[in-house]
Amino acid sequence: MRHSRTSIINTALMRVGAQGVTAAFQDSPSAQTAAAAYDRSLAYCLSLHPWAFALTRAALARGTEKAAPGWRFCYPLPPDCLRVADAVSMGQWGAQRLSYSLAGGNLQTDADAVTISYVSAKSADFPDAFADALAWRVALEISPYVQQGGNARDYLEMFERALDRARVENDAQQRPERVCHSSFLRERMVL
């Protein structure tokens, strides 16, 4: 299901007991507070896990900055990069994982060519479980500013539960269950 910014904000407002908004009319203080918290909450939630729906690949171009001591090359990260999931270099024997460090929006490594997998801030189509966790995070952020706000500890607990569920669903899609037709092998399979 496609989740819009407005639908996630409405869900968060509903959770704290505030009036919802429409895309055209967002004049209430609680709606303005929720809209301000949305972008910060989205970036935070995306940065917490290598979400399959948000992963992007990019070959990095070498930067002009000098690498930190211990590294040969410095590569600027893409502007929409929230989290580096993996860095590889294509070598004679295929892709090889790299040792690297991140500092100041740069990836530093000894490899002369780098391709990264990263979580992009430009992700727009969220799975239901992620959208639910994001709505709980927005509710947590706005609860102190909304008259009907409730207890922030409760929102934090609900956010953490929803985030755990979203991670499990994401990881299950990344590594689908193996089907084994042999009873001999099935009994000895290590998961």
Q: What angle do CA 86, 120, 135 make, to 5 degrees?
A: 120
pLDDT of residue 24: 47
Higher per-residue confidence, 31 vs 14: 14
- pTM, full prediction: 0.78
Does 190 have pLDDT greater than 60?
no
Mean pLDDT of 27-46: 87
* Structural contact between residues 42 and 119, judged by C-beta atoms closer than 8 angstroms: no
Note the pLDDT tens digit of each residue in 49-60.
999 999 999 999
pLDDT digits (tens, 9 = 90+) for 62-97: 999 999 999 999 999 999 999 999 999 987 677 889
- The DSSP secondary-structure symbol of 47 reads H
Tell me the three state secondary structure of residue 175. Answer: coil
Q: What is the pLDDT of residue 171?
A: 92
CA-only gyration radius of the chain, Å = 21
Say how far apart CA 93 and CA 95 lie, in whole Å.
Answer: 7
The predicted pLDDT at position 82 comes to 93
Question: Cβ neighbours of residue 185 under 8 Å, at least 6 residues apart?
Answer: none
In this predicted model, what pLDDT tens digit does every residue of 113-160 receive, in sequence order?
999 999 998 877 889 999 999 999 999 999 888 766 578 889 999 999
pLDDT at 177: 53
* Confidence band for 1, pLDDT divided at 50, 70 and 90: low
CA angle 51/119/154 to nearest 5° reads: 55
Answer whether residue 175 shows pLDDT above 70. Answer: no
- Predicted local distance difference test score (pLDDT) of residue 186: 58
Strands (DSSP E) found in the chain: 55-60, 73-76, 81-91, 94-97, 100-103, 106-109, 114-120
3-state helix vs strand vs coil in the chain, percent to 5: 40, 20, 35
Neighbours of 14 (CB within 10 A): 13
